[in-house]
Amino acid sequence: MSDVHSKEVRSYNMSKIKGKDTKPEILVRKFLFKKGLRYRLHDKKLPGKPDLVFPKYKIVIFVHGCFWHGHEGCKYFVIPKTKTEWWLNKINSNKEKDMESVQKLKNEGWKVYIVWECDLKSRKKEETLNALYYKIIN
Ligand SMILES: [Zn+2]
């Protein structure tokens, strides 16, 4: 048992570092899986390694943390007061990479949906997930 626990802790730490398997992303995955949809995860062959890939629908989904991906006008996107310039550079470069990936994917004929972390907070969650589901299957 203790080994299982340490494995969990390790993977949690890894997820914090790599930004993979974050909680909002798991929420989206679980919801769509329950709805019967099947997908690939973090496909390295595609630009930006989309979080979820639906080859059958030619759709990819990114689940973005509002801070790291600089969600404009969002209350969760607040640049820290210290090392402000460093953070701005960091987040702006994330945003540039995001835009590049989206453009490349679109050029390859993929539909790209971005789900923001703030839209997965308790009150909005249900609505966001349902809307996403219908966008995929339609
Ligand atoms: Zn947001």
**In a structure prediction context, what are the per-residue pLDDT tens digits for the chain, which is 138 residues long?**
444 555 555 554 444 445 566 799 999 999 999 999 999 999 999 999 999 999 999 999 999 999 999 999 999 999 999 999 999 999 999 999 999 999 999 999 999 999 999 999 988 999 999 999 999 998
CA angle 93, 99, 104 (to 5 degrees): 125
Q: Is residue 10 part of a domain?
A: no
Query: Cβ–Cβ contacts within 10 Å for residue 44, how many?
Result: 5
Q: How far apart (Å, rounded) are the C-alpha atoms in residues 55 and 37?
A: 11
So what's the pLDDT on residue 54?
97
Q: Is residue 4 part of a domain?
A: no
So what's the pLDDT on residue 7?
55
The Å distance, Cα 100 to ligand 1 centre, comes to: 20
The Å distance, Cα 23 to ligand 1 centre, comes to: 14
Kindly report the CATH number assigned to the domain that includes residue 57. 3.40.960.10
Q: Is residue 51 part of a domain?
A: yes
Q: Is residue 33 part of a domain?
A: yes
Q: Is residue 88 part of a domain?
A: yes
Q: Is residue 1 part of a domain?
A: no
The Å distance, Cα 1 to ligand 1 centre, comes to: 38
Domain range enclosing 125:
19-137
The Å distance, Cα 118 to ligand 1 centre, comes to: 4
Q: Is residue 3 part of a domain?
A: no
So what's the pLDDT on residue 6?
55
pTM (two decimals): 0.82
Residue 40 near residue 92, CB atoms below 8 Å? no
Q: Is residue 11 part of a domain?
A: no
The Å distance, Cα 94 to ligand 1 centre, comes to: 15
Least Cα distance to 48 among 95, 12, 15, 14 occurs for 95
Distance between the two ends of the chain, CA-based, in angstroms? 44
Question: Structurally, how many domains does the chain consist of?
Answer: 1
The Å distance, Cα 66 to ligand 1 centre, comes to: 4
